[in-house]
């Protein structure tokens, strides 16, 4: 299904460009606030009992964008972008009373997992006012398809007054799902800086339509994104 999406996105961009009245090209920066399937896991081993939670986190992405206008109020947005979405796995360990472990104090382990991918947006945008106005408000919706390429772990381990941090990277090492498809819906605005240059702010909500599988667990990444684009109109 995802390969079909990429092929359709390519052919749609090529075919619609033949009928577009005007276009835009530029760069995008996306600020992402990602959260995943919330859960609290209670478990224990011979030495420790622990509670594990997934917490939301911020990340940044961006890339190149291409827009094609059809009439005064509708445009199609596509391009290629580097996405980075992250969340934090917070685990609190408490020693069991019958533990033989010499370290009897509780400790906390925070791991920030960041999932990097290349993705193609295919977003339809309707302007509530004429595109040539100084400020135009926009309703945006569509799909984003991508492929994960890298996963990093930034760990912060604390026990008493001791704090240890580290960073590791694993290209698709534990990721059973590499391709994904998201649905997106948002509302924003376009600001015309002059006759040729425009600035876009489009906050949107992204819901993952395909599940991610890692370490035998299945979950979904949901993201609130603020899409900021600086474009040249032609």
Q: Is the distance from CB of 192 to CB of 8 less than 8 angstroms?
A: no
Average pLDDT, the chain: 82
Give the span between the Cα atoms of 178 and 118, in whole angstroms.
Answer: 11
Compute CA distances 92 → 51, 109, 161, 217, whole Å: 5, 6, 15, 20
Compute CA distances 112 → 35, 102, 105, 156, 179, whole Å: 12, 28, 23, 8, 21
9-12: long-range pairs with CB below 8 Å, 24+: 9/78, 9/120, 9/122, 9/145, 12/76, 12/122
pLDDT in tens, 132-172: 899 999 999 999 999 888 888 888 877 656 666 766 766 55
Least confident of 8-17, 69-78, 133-142, 186-195: 8-17
Q: Pick from 74, 62, 204: which is nearest to 143 by CA? A: 204
pLDDT at 126: 97
Give the span between the Cα atoms of 83 and 29, in whole angstroms.
Answer: 10
For 12, the 3-state DSSP assignment is: helix
Q: What is the mean pLDDT of residues 181-201?
A: 96
Q: What is the mean pLDDT of residues 186-198?
A: 96
pTM, two decimal places: 0.79
Q: Is the distance from CB of 212 to CB of 175 less than 8 angstroms?
A: yes
pLDDT in tens, 15-59: 555 555 688 999 999 999 998 765 555 565 667 777 778 889 999
pLDDT at 107: 80
What is the domain partition of the chain in residue ranges? 2-196+208-233
Give the span between the Cα atoms of 123 and 225, in whole angstroms.
Answer: 14
The number of beta carbons lying within 10 Å of the beta carbon of residue 134 is: 9
pLDDT in tens, 214-232: 666 677 888 999 999 999 9
Q: Identify the band that residue 174 occupies on the pLDDT scale cut at 50, 70 and 90.
A: low
Burial classification of residue 201, based on how many CB atoms lie within 10 Å of its CB (0-12 exposed, 13-18 middle, 19 or more buried): middle
Q: What is the mean pLDDT of residues 67-74?
A: 89
**82: which 2 tokens?**
């580097």
Q: Is the distance from CB of 154 to CB of 165 less than 8 angstroms?
A: yes
pLDDT in tens, 80-131: 999 998 988 888 888 776 655 555 677 888 888 888 999 999 999 999 988 8
pLDDT at 183: 96
State the DSSP code for 210. Answer: S
Q: Which residue has the higher pLDDT, 6 or 185?
A: 185
Q: What is the mean pLDDT of residues 178-206?
A: 95
């Amino acid at each position: 299904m995802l390969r079909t999406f990429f092929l359709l996105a390519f052919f749609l961009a090529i075919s619609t460009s033949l009928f577009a009245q005007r276009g835009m090209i530029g760069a995008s920066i996306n600020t992402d606030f990602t959260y995943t399937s919330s859960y609290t896991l209670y478990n224990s081993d011979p030495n420790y009992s622990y509670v594990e939670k997934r917490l939301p986190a911020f990340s940044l992405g961006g890339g190149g964008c291409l827009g094609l206008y059809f009439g005064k109020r509708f445009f199609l947005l596509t391009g290629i972008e580097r996405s980075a979405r992250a969340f934090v796995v917070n685990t609190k360990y408490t020693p069991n009373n019958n533990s033989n472990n010499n370290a009897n104090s509780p400790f906390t382990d925070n791991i920030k997992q960041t999932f990097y991918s290349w993705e193609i947006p295919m977003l339809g945008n309707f302007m509530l006012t004429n595109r040539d106005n100084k400020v135009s408000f926009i309703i945006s919706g569509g799909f984003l398809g991508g492929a994960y390429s890298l996963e990093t772990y930034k760990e912060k381990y604390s026990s008493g007054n001791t704090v240890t941090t580290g960073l590791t990277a694993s290209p698709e090492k534990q990721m059973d799902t590499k391709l994904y498809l998201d649905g997106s819906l948002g509302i924003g605005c376009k600001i015309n800086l002059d006759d040729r240059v425009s600035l876009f702010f489009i906050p949107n909500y992204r819901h993952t339509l395909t599940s991610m599988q890692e370490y035998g667990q299945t979950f979904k990444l949901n993201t609130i994104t603020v899409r900021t684009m600086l474009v040249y109109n032609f």
